[in-house]
């Protein structure tokens, strides 16, 4: 059962040391959630460590508090509580991060993915929330925790990016009310949006060009997909964060209802990102056929290669899920 905010607050009150973790290949909701809750707890007098298996993406280095994100230490941390944020399954935290948190006596799991099985000792899963950052805003304000400027800004970036700049159907009235309150608290919208969306390395543009050269439209114009091979990744020096959000470009093609990004990974696996614009095509259900998960309109998979086989299998599953008309 979902823990109430007050029950989570009781965990905060009873303990003094915490490690906050988010998923591998972290996005802005993952990192923003760590920073926002971590610095709020620290301002309340708690001892806090923020770790991520893959560290801090370059594109989020502008966030105040981003320097607190560290790679997992080799030895387990002496902490009482581990808090997993924005992570649908425990293995997605990464082996090194799990080892670093292995001495924790209590696990708290806060997330918004509907595929999350509730792997914590204390769980709060709200699949109706557009971002974990929005859950944490409600948690922090409900409990009356401090909200330093770094927490305020991190919440905004977490929610803004996970809602496609407040455009996705998951955006709610509460999302806009939250944003208004953050502005009242001093958020500089123009500056932070510029840092979030208007400061990309040239290689991201080169990556976009390379991806467009692989674009295919199938399913009678309803499915768009492109691919990133290891050869292209190495030739351009691509970093994981460089592709963040690019799938929205093909998602926006008129007539397309499912967009798919296939990506070869160094370990030989294939990463699949899927977006749906039609609730009749549940991306989470399609991805679940291959051990993946996420949300109804945004989900992902990590599956065995080679790329050609993965594409054939996933596109066939999408074809089966497409509505008749």
Please give the full DSSP string across 46-82, using - where no structure is assigned: -EEEEEETT---GGGTTSTTGGGEEPPPSSPP--SEE
Residue 306 to residue 283: CA distance in whole angstroms: 22
Element housing 307 (H / E): helix 307-321
**Which among 187, 94, 54, 71 has a CA at the least distance from the CA of 133?**
187
- Enumerate residue ranges in the chain where pLDDT < 70: 325
The encoded tokens of residue 229 equal 């091979």
Instruction: Enter the pTM of the model.
Output: 0.88
The encoded tokens of residue 305 equal 């290669």
pLDDT of residue 1: 80
pLDDT of residue 55: 96
Same fold, 5-197 and 202-321: no
pLDDT of residue 168: 87
Residue 2 to residue 125: CA distance in whole angstroms: 7
- For domain 5-197, give the CATH superfamily: inorganic pyrophosphatase (n-terminal core) (3.90.1640.10)
Residue 268 to residue 96: CA distance in whole angstroms: 20
Contacts of 23 (CB under 8 A, 6+ apart): 30, 53, 86, 87, 88, 92, 93, 94
Q: Which fold would CATH assign to domain 202-321?
A: Diaminopimelate Epimerase; Chain A, domain 1 (3.10.310)
Percent with pLDDT over 90 in the chain: 94
Please state the domain extents for the chain. 5-197, 202-321
């Amino acid at each position: 059962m979902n823990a109430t905010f007050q029950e989570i607050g009781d965990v905060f009150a009873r303990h003094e040391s915490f490690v906050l973790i988010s998923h591998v290949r972290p996005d802005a909701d993952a990192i923003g959630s760590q920073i926002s809750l971590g610095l709020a707890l620290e301002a309340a007098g708690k001892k806090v460590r923020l770790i991520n298996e893959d560290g801090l993406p370059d594109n989020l280095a502008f966030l105040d508090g981003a320097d607190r994100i560290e790679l997992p230490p080799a030895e387990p941390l002496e902490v009482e509580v581990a808090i997993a944020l924005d992570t649908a399954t425990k293995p997605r935290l990464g082996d090194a991060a799990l080892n670093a948190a292995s001495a924790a006596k209590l696990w708290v799991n806060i997330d918004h993915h509907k595929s999350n099985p509730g792997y914590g000792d204390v769980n709060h899963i709200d699949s109706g929330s557009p971002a974990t950052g929005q859950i944490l805003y409600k948690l922090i304000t409900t409990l009356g925790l401090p909200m330093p400027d770094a927490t305020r800004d991190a919440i905004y970036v977490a929610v803004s990016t996970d809602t496609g700049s407040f455009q996705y159907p998951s955006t709610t009235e509460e999302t806009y009310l939250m944003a208004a309150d953050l502005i009242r608290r001093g958020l500089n919208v123009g500056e932070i949006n510029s840092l979030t969306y208007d400061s990309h390395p040239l290689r991201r543009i080169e990556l976009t060009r390379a991806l467009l050269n692989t674009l295919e439209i199938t399913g009678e114009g309803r499915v768009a997909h492109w691919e990133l091979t290891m050869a292209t990744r190495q030739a351009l020096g691509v970093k994981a964060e460089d592709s963040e959000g690019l799938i929205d470009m093909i998602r926006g093609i008129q007539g397309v209802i499912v967009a798919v990004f296939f990506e070869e990974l160094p370990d030989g696996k294939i990463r699949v990102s899927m977006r749906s614009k039609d609730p009749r095509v549940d991306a989470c259900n399609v991805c679940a056929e291959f051990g993946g998960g996420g949300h109804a309109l945004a989900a992902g998979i990590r599956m065995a290669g080679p790329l050609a086989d993965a594409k054939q299998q996933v596109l066939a599953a999408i074809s089966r899920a497409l509505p008749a008309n």
